[in-house]
Every structure is written in C-alpha cells, then in structure tokens.
Amino acid sequence: MTGCTKISSGCKNCYAERLALRLQAMGNHRYRRGFRVTLHEDVVDLPRTWKKSRRIFVNSMSDLFHPDVPLWFIRRVFKTMEECPQHSFQVLTKRSDRVRKLAAKLPWPKNVWMGVSVEDSRVFDRIDDLREVPAAIRFLSCEPLIGSLAGIDLRGIYWVIVGGESGPHSRSMEIEWVREFFRACRQQKVPFFFKQWGGVRKDLTGRELGGRTYDEMPKAA
C-alpha cells in the first residue's frame, strides 16, 4: 500500500510523502493518487515468489494500520507473512492503538517483527500498546528522534533503532538524547542500532557514535 496521513510530530517532514508526490509527477501508476491511502493487492503475494530468505520491511511508503486500511487487507498481508517462513518481516506503525485492538484477530508467527515509531516522550503510550502485542520481536524505531526519551522503560522490547531526521528542513538531534538511549539499552540489555545522524547531507554526518557504529540486532535475527 501507499499513502498516509500525519498523526504526530514525527510526521512533519515525511520522506514518504515527498517521494510519493515526486513519483506522481513522474507518472508512476502506483502514485496516481499521490499520497492518498491506496491498496495494491497485486503485490501482496510477491514474497511468495522469493525463495531465498530475505528480511523485508513490509511497508516503507505507508502505515499498514492506518484507519483507512480494512481488516480484511491487513489479514491478507499477515497470511502472506505467515505462509512465507523463509523470510522475516518488519512491520512498523504509528497507530499502536489499532495494533493492540486488532492483535487477537491476527496470526503472529515468529517471523513477524512488530514495531512502533517513538519520536519523543509525548508518544510513550505507543510502547505500552506494543507490549500487549504477542509478536516474537517487538521493536522501537526512534527515527526521527526529535526529543529526549530519558527514563524510557524497555521492558518487553527486543530491539531499538535510533536515528536523526534527514532531508530538507530536517530537525536536529541532540547527542545527549542518543547517549541517553544508548545507556538505557545497555542497562536494560536491549540491542541498539544507530542508523544515522541525519541532516540535509546525511552522507556527511555519518552514523558513528563515539567513534564506532552500532548495528546490533535481536537474537532472532
């Protein structure tokens, strides 16, 4: 699926929206509706054709748990994931309340990783919602990190991704926010993946923290 609507501060400079509008202007048929929520049923079964194991980010251009996505479609996506045990699937959402409400109506095979976006302390409730989802791997994507998450409780969380915002008008990420998170992961024994510092030229700012990179993954990876 493609398209979404903004729900919190982390959405302000959405890369997917920028890309979708660019692709619409180029005449890409997948984006004929721009960034309006659009289901693409013809590609749901594509992972079945990939025999070699892959780690698949299910939906980089939308949110599977957007309120405009019907339950039957979400179930079809989960059915494909369940029937493709050779792959691992990463599903990320900002609609944690809907995941929690629908969790009992969906299968949760071990190859489905469920994550929520947490950009600052105002959306800590997403973590509480995620803890109630019976996924084998529950993870946090703190990108863009736009505020301190000091005191975060990582109970029931198996992986953390941290990164700064990139692209035009990107907001800066304070080094102390990253250090706070790193310390929390070390204290609570959660794998830490540092993706980038971000900025207008993320290729120049890099992804080192304290002189090294962090590419830690959960044990089930």
pLDDT in tens, the chain (221 residues): 999 999 999 999 999 999 999 999 999 999 999 999 999 999 999 999 999 999 999 999 999 999 999 999 999 999 999 999 999 999 999 999 999 999 999 999 999 999 999 999 999 999 999 999 999 999 999 999 999 999 999 999 999 999 999 999 999 999 999 999 999 999 999 999 999 999 999 999 999 999 999 999 998 65
In a domain, residue 168? The reply is yes
Task: Identify whether 4 is part of a domain.
Answer: no
Q: What does the pLDDT read at residue 220?
A: 67
Nearest in space to 22 (alpha carbons), one of 31, 13, 12, 9: 31
Alpha carbon distance 75, 64 (integer Å): 10
Provide the CATH number for the domain around residue 57: 3.20.20.70
User: What pLDDT, on the 0 to 100 scale, is given for residue 219?
Assistant: 85
Q: Is residue 19 part of a domain?
A: no
**Number of structural domains the chain divides into:** 1
35 belongs to a structural domain? no
In a domain, 25, yes or no: no
> Which pair of tokens denotes residue 12?
């302000």
Distances (CA, A) of 38 to 10, 30, 92, 178: 22, 8, 17, 35
Domain membership flag for residue 174:
yes
In this structure, what token pair is assigned to residue 143?
A: 């990108």
Sheet of strand 137-142, all strands in order from the earlier edge strand to the far edge: 55-57, 88-93, 112-117, 137-142, 159-163, 192-196
Range of the domain at 157: 45-205
Length of the chain: 221
Q: What is the pLDDT of residue 35?
A: 98
Integer Cα distance of 145 and 198 in angstroms: 10
Q: For 132-137, which contacts have Cβ atoms below 8 Å and span 24 or more sequence positions?
A: 132/100, 132/103, 133/99, 133/100, 133/103, 133/108, 134/103, 134/108, 135/108, 136/108, 136/109, 136/110, 136/111, 136/112, 136/220, 137/113, 137/218, 137/220
What sign has the CA pseudo-torsion 216, 158, 76, 41?
A: negative
Domain membership of residue 109 (yes or no) is yes
Is 131 inside any structural domain? yes
Closest by CA to 174, choosing from 201, 202, 192, 149, is 149
